[in-house]
């Protein structure tokens, strides 16, 4: 069983992660018109932001492999955003 100090640290990491997830989800879905190009760009940007959060969490809690997998997804999203001129 981890010590209290470590447990508090882990809870803090997950709290920050959940707050970040909620922020990104709100940004992605607020006033979204599913038929517009802007909504598609918001979806790619949101997915990219989620992968950044997951990579950060992976680096803090899980593993380097987990973190790298999400950073690769971020790079793929950046490539898509460059196509539409948003990155």
Residue 5 has pLDDT above 90, yes or no: no
User: If you ran DSSP here, which 8-state letter would residue 84 be given?
Assistant: T
Residue 20's pLDDT is: 93
Residue 86 is predicted with a pLDDT of: 62
Render pLDDT for 6-61 as a digit per residue (tens, 0 to 9): 888 888 888 999 999 999 999 888 888 888 888 888 888 998 999 999 888 887 77
Closest CA to 42 of 26, 62, 58, 59: 26
- At residue 2, the pLDDT reads 63
Closest CA to 69 of 55, 49, 48: 55
The more confidently predicted of residues 25 and 62 is: 25
Q: Please list the alpha-helical segments (H only) found in 1-87.
A: 4-29, 37-60, 64-83
E-only strand ranges, the chain: none
Per-residue confidence (pLDDT) for residue 9, from 0 to 100: 85
How open is the CA angle 23-20-65, to the nearest 5 degrees?
140
């Amino acid at each position: 069983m981890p010590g209290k100090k470590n447990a508090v640290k882990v809870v803090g990491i997950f709290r920050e992660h959940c707050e970040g997830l909620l922020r990104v989800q709100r940004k992605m879905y607020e006033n979204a018109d599913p038929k517009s190009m802007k909504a598609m760009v918001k979806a790619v940007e949101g997915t990219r932001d989620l992968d950044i959060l997951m990579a950060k969490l992976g680096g803090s809690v899980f593993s380097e492999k987990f973190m790298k997998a999400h950073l690769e997804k971020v790079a793929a999203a950046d490539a898509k955003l460059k196509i539409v001129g948003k990155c």
